[in-house]
């Protein structure tokens, strides 16, 4: 069984999680021009929704778009764009809105599992 992981850091993730807390609806994992999370019911700054890129998958950090797409395919195991709505349970949401927890998204055979990462420990929550 192949397992891969995406990491979302607290510093960039907190605004997205505050959107989820304030607006409800969980998160949307998007893999298109990079890999990022946004709230299913996002707030907007101007015409742009609040997003948080997975560590290493911000489009702006890549010179070679083909290499980015290859890396995205490798980490997700999915060779196409991704739009996946994921619920966030109350306990995980509270950990993530403090800004003190990072988020790991484990990808296991095309399924996504959220895990809040606090001070070296993971709190796993099924989707």
pTM reported for the whole predicted model: 0.85
Secondary structure letter of residue 80 according to DSSP: S
pLDDT of residue 121: 58
pLDDT of residue 48: 87
Banded pLDDT at 100 (limits 50, 70, 90)? confident
Alpha carbons 58 and 117: distance in angstroms, whole number: 21
Average pLDDT value for the chain: 88
Helix or strand or coil: residue 28?
Answer: strand
Reported as half-sphere exposure (CB side, CA atoms, 13 A), residue 93 has a value of: 19
Q: Which fold has domain 3-125?
A: DNA Polymerase III; Chain A, domain 2 (3.10.150)
pLDDT of residue 127: 46
Reported as half-sphere exposure (CB side, CA atoms, 13 A), residue 50 has a value of: 19
pLDDT digit string, tens, across residues 21-31: 999 899 999 99
Higher pLDDT among residues 122 and 44, named by residue = 44
Domain ranges in the chain are 3-125
**pLDDT exceeds 70 at position 97:** yes
Q: Where are the alpha helices (DSSP H) in the chain?
A: 10-23, 65-76, 90-97
């Amino acid at each position: 069984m192949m397992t891969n992981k995406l990491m979302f850091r607290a510093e960039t993730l907190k605004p997205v999680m505050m959107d989820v807390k304030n607006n409800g609806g969980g998160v949307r994992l998007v893999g298109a021009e990079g890999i990022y999370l946004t709230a299913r019911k996002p707030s907007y700054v101007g015409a742009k929704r609040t997003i948080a890129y997975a560590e290493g998958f911000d489009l702006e950090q890549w010179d070679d778009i083909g290499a980015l797409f290859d890396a995205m395919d490798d980490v997700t195991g999915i060779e196409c764009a991704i739009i996946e709505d994921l619920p966030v349970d109350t306990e995980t949401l509270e950990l993530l809105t403090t800004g003190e927890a990072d988020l790991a998204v484990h990808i296991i055979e095309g399924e996504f599992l959220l895990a809040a990462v606090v001070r070296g420990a993971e709190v796993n929550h099924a989707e």
